[in-house]
Structure 1
Amino acid sequence: MKVKDNSFSLDSTDIKILEILQEDARQTYTTIGKRLGIAHSTVYDRIKRMEKYGVIKKYTTLIDAEKAGAKTITAIMTIITDPKESEHVAEKLCKIPQITEVYTSLSEELQIIAKVTAENQETLHEFIATSVAPLPGVLRIRTSIVTKKFKETQPLIVNDPKKLTPTKNKNKRGEGENKSEK
């Protein structure tokens, strides 16, 4: 990882570390180091730097809701909005717990794509009618219910290193700090 002028780019080692973490984020620094032929301290330093710069946002668990006993349905909503309100609508949707993903897309018109989970079709209908349709700027909603899931993963890193800008971290006093590293 190269840091210069308050930005940095990922090198091939960083990308390999990220790919290994995406397979299983519980792996130890030593295990990752052995797989890559580098010291565990190097793995630790690189991971901490990627956390600091916001490349690694968080560590989480991908749960199979059906196997966990949850009887839910998943739907994809395509929401057509007034162009002036689309950002505001997307931000509102992000705050709703039943909505797990939100994207904007531009085809013939600006639209928001949102993934939602519900207990059944009735609760899905009620949720859309009471929580999504009334939002200011929503013009139309098309809903597709997922009937079979073939794959659900996080995307892998593109093997093309990118320039990244660090995120501001808060120190103990709540003041932002943004240091360049060498």
Structure 2
Amino acid sequence: MTAPAVKLDEKDHAILLLIQENSKLTANQIAKKINIPLTTVFAKIKRLEDHGIIKQYRAILDPQKLNLGTTAFILASVSYSKNDEPQITQRDVAEEIAQLPEVQEVHIITGNWDLLVKLRAENVEAIGKFVVDKLRRIKGLDKTLTCMVFETIKESTSLHQQLKQDYSHS
């Protein structure tokens, strides 16, 4: 069950937009940019953190410069347990996949496939080795379909556009 939505005002949205653009901004810099008192910025950020709206602060690394420039999305199908075997669920398989260090994202999805996995590696061979030697050995995994990424046009963790739309309607 999800928690009830927290009511955010225009200044909360402005703070969130600034932090998403650059989480290294100081509270003083934020206060100056949106013209509110420094103590208000501290209080609003603390409230946003306490309500879990701001989950973490992190650096976004360039995978190309770290020799992890090959991206793949893998669709996976779960083989559900037979009557005489312990029950294996989508969530069990997803949680096991999520423990693998190469994996960036694991999603439980609808449709003909059960899971969507995103990973990065050095090259296509490393992706293949991961699929054959690690992924396909997970109990309960039935089949996979690997989709190699040729080029990434957009990749973002920002909710920037949605926040802009939300507070323009306030």
TM-score range, shorter chain: 0.7 to 0.9
Q: Could you tell me which of 93, 99, 103 is aligned with 2:97?
A: 93
1:53-80 deviation per Cα after TM superposition (whole angstroms, max 9, x unaligned): 22111111111121x2525311011111
Determine whether 1:78 maps to 2:69.
Answer: no
> Unmatched 5+ residue regions in structure 2?
81-87
Determine what percentage of the aligned residue pairs are the same residue.
28
Equivalent in the alignment of 1:170: none
**For the residues of structure 2 that align with 1:81 and 1:21, how far apart are their CA atoms?**
39
Give the AA of the match of 1:72: G
Distance 1:110 1:141, change over 3 A: closer
Task: Name the one with the larger strand percent.
Answer: 1
Unaligned runs of 5+ in 1: 1-5, 162-182
Q: Counterpart of 1:134?
A: 137
> In the superposition, relative to structure 1, how do residues 146 and 58 fare at CA in structure 2: closer, same or farther (>3 Å)?
same
Following superposition, the deviation at residue 154 of structure 1 comes to 0.9
Cα deviation code 1:23-74 (max 9, x no counterpart): 11111112211222211111111111222222111111111121x2525311
Which of 1 and 2 has higher RCO (CA within 8 Å, sep 6+)?
A: 1
Structure with higher helix content: 2
Aligned equivalents of 2:140, 2:14: Cα separation in 1: 43
Q: How many residues in Structure 1 have an aligned counterpart in Structure 2?
A: 154
* Rounded Cα–Cα distance in structure 2 between residues aligned with 1:64 and 1:100: 14
In the alignment, is residue 106 of structure 1 matched against residue 104 of structure 2?
Answer: no
Superposed CA RMSD in Å reads: 2.1
The match for 1:22 is 20
Of 146-155 and 80-89, more deviation after overlay is shown by 80-89
